Amino acid sequence: MKIAIYCGSSFGNNKIFNTKAKESIEFLSTTDTTIVYGGSKAGLMGTISKTAIDLNMEVIGVITHDLAHKEIENTSITKLYKVDTIRQRKEKMEQLSDAFIAFPGGFGTLEEISEIFTYIQIGLHKKPCALYNVNGYYNKFLEFLKNCVHNGFISQEHLDAIIVSDDIKEIYNSFKNYIAPKSKWELEALKKC
């Protein structure tokens, strides 16, 4: 399984984020997983790629030409794609991946995983996605999403389709048993019946 990991190009201010990133890759190395990620050596991206390479995993990076210079592209990985724009980066990562996990990160991580959630909602793909909720990192984001459900902007079915756990093994096993929800349009049609 090719798993896209979205995460920070920083380490955050709690060592647990880096520790859990490393531990998660150690677990995934015992499975038939290829890592797809943002192609950088910086922050959690660097931890993930270095750990995976050290454990002889296949690691595919996708980075823009501009970020390759700013974030120090990782040339020690199995394959590195260079693209022109962030949009192309996201598209390539989506095309390459069978599933998606958001580790702790900032604006970029939230934007990337939110786009994947949107694609599930509107039926553009049926691939599983997860929030790796290390140390409760995504609790406030989940509160926001629940508020979106409460106010009628997200269906409960689509919120429930997001796998949330602080246990990477649980996330991985959930990926294997994932059943995608119907698209927003299909759900709305069912409600009219």
Residue-by-residue pLDDT tens, the chain, 193 positions:
999 999 999 999 999 999 999 999 999 999 999 999 999 999 999 999 999 999 999 999 999 999 887 768 888 999 999 999 999 999 999 999 999 999 999 999 999 999 999 999 999 999 999 999 999 999 999 999 999 999 999 999 999 999 999 999 999 999 999 998 888 777 676 666 5
Per-residue pLDDT at 192:
67
Per-residue pLDDT at 190:
63
CA dist 190 and 193 (Å) reads 5
Q: Is residue 159 within 8 Å of 149, Cβ to Cβ?
A: yes
- How many of the other CB atoms lie within 10 Å of CB of 92? 19
CA dist 39 and 89 (Å) reads 10
Per-residue pLDDT at 73:
81
Q: Is residue 10 within 8 Å of 44, Cβ to Cβ?
A: yes
Per-residue pLDDT at 58:
98
Per-residue pLDDT at 32:
95
> Mind listing the domains of the chain with CATH numbers?
2-192 (3.40.50.450)
φ and ψ at 42, to 5 degrees? -85, 145
Per-residue pLDDT at 71:
64
